Chain A
């Protein structure tokens, strides 16, 4: 269970550029929750993920993951239990290293001086074949040769090869072409369902936000302004969401990408 209590973060404090990016935000995520997060550009969605991952330390508040206080924990240590995908498919893997080497690093089995075991190689091959992209036959090829969609699928595999307590997806299909995005989204759904993972996903696609997962959260100005789940959510339409945004934030949701994907 992830429990975020009253966290705040101001960037460039004390300057004219000071920006309150997260404003006294609290959020409790139950085990097995799949929450979709929507909001205009600059609402603080990615900043919230950065706070959870430890890319920066919050100014106030605390973050508990499975009862453990991770508020001040270093980013690389949190990564042991938190998997994350970015919008940029290039960010999650090392282009100059082979698919197998990337997976071996992500799996992190064995000691510092152990090399990849035969059992691990077999495991990687089996996992890759689940993607249905033929990557299992290209284990020795450098990751830099893969397409954006293949790389994002590989990153998804790397982030979940040791089931994380929390999976954060930051618009991970936004940079892919529609068909590939659809495929990666489908893989995401399968992996999250099969692994019974707890997952937060930022998306700009309102339809996806309502279709995927069991709960939808709307953010604006570093706050959560709308949080819906259960029966109430099932009845919601994209038009309702836009209307809800207008009511909660006092302005229209004027985001080109959102309007286009409405």
Chain B
């Protein structure tokens, strides 16, 4: 592989890794902190992409970002409301919202399952024009993604230190204790999911703008891919303070893309992406469990019933 081809691959992995790391950071908040596995992630990612694309197509590339994030907040609110106020199991409420969002997303795109932004101004084209004739001219996509990721990590690092942030972390850790600190865990769950879904939507919005198109499947499998990235990052930087762990989530997203890009180089078909992400999640979650079973398995294999004769 030539150096330039390698650097192009690396740059694609970096860009896609950074954009999808926003979803990973969303799961860092909902899955790691709040202990809720938010299965509406796929739909919410697509929602961010469609809302962002429609607003950008209307000629507002900057407005697209807050619009997408607001849509994400709304989606997160519905998911959280269903599980805290309507007595629906948290996994099920995610799935329900995910299903409903499919229709919503088609509706947002104006009864179509595909939108094209080839001639539309996006954050990326704006940045490209801005960086024209500078040394960073080639890196404009990475720079946009990097700014978004840096802002989200900064926000998370500051937010999770506030009283509300601590309450959200405690909700996932010990809800009893939150209640006895006279904080309503319903409130913290709703706030947490609203914030995490706004990141997911932001992630979708940026991916759509970066690849200049949206289709209805843009978010499918996103929750598993993000979970795989989160768990990879956790293996490297899972301990320590919040900013370190958040950076670990981003690192995980990047490593996931690198591995995937290399696998593609070795002629792995592109459609295998989702299969690979599923396998990674299985290994990362079941690994520690299976490891803890090893002594017991060993014991079973080594066990020779001696001295039984005496009893007989």
Contacts and interface: CB of A to CB of B under 8 A. Distances in A.
A79 B180 contact: yes
B84 to A, nearest CB: 13
A146 B181 CA distance: 20
Interface stretch (A62-70, A110-118, A184-192): A110-118
Interface of B is mostly: helix
Interface in B163-221: 163-164, 166-167, 169-170, 173-174, 176-185
B132 interface: no
A68 to B, nearest CB: 15
B4 interface: no
A57 to B, nearest CB: 15
Contact of B181 (A105, A111, A114, A115): A105
Nearest to B241: A140
A96 B169 CA distance: 9
Interface stretch (A87-95, A204-212, A223-231): A87-95
Given A101-B166, A113-B164, A115-B162, A94 B182 contact: no
A165 interface: no
Contacts of B177: 91-94, 102, 105
B161 interface: yes
A97 B173 contact: yes
A108 B161 contact: no
A83 to B, nearest CB: 8
A125 B164 CA distance: 22
Contacts of A115: 158, 161-163
B174 A94 contact: yes
B178 A105 contact: yes
A105 B166 CA distance: 7
A193 B182 CA distance: 24
A257 interface: no
Contacts of B182: 76-80, 108
Nearest to B176: A91
B163 A92 contact: no
B162 A112 contact: yes
B174 A108 contact: no
Contacts of A94: 169-170, 173-174, 177
B163 A105 contact: yes
Contacts of B178: 76, 105
A102 B162 CA distance: 12
Given A96-B169, A97-B173, A112 B180 contact: no
Nearest to A84: B180
Nearest to B174: A94
Nearest to B239: A142
Given A76-B182, A115-B161, A104 B173 contact: no
A111 B163 contact: yes
Given A77-B182, A91-B174, A108 B163 contact: yes
Nearest to A94: B173
B9 to A, nearest CB: 38
Contacts of B166: 97, 101, 104-105
Interface in B119-166: 158, 161-164, 166
Contacts of B179: 75-76, 79
B169 A97 contact: yes
B162 A105 contact: no
A113 B191 CA distance: 13
Interface centre among A76, A102, A104, A114 (most CB of B within 10 A): A76
Nearest to B183: A76
A112 B173 contact: no
Contacts of A116: 161
A30 interface: no
A76 B177 CA distance: 10
A80 B167 CA distance: 15
A115 B53 CA distance: 37
B210 to A, nearest CB: 32
A105 B167 contact: yes
Given A112-B162, A113-B162, A106 B181 contact: yes
A119 B169 CA distance: 23
B83 to A, nearest CB: 17
Contacts of A113: 162-164
11 contacts: A76-B178, A91-B176, A92-B176, A92-B180, A93-B174, A97-B170, A104-B166, A105-B177, A105-B181, A108-B183, A113-B164
Q: List 4 A-B pairs, minimum CB-CB distance, nearest first.
A: A94-B173, A79-B182, A80-B182, A112-B164
Given A76-B182, A105-B177, A116-B161, 4 more contacts: A79-B179, A83-B180, A93-B177, A109-B163
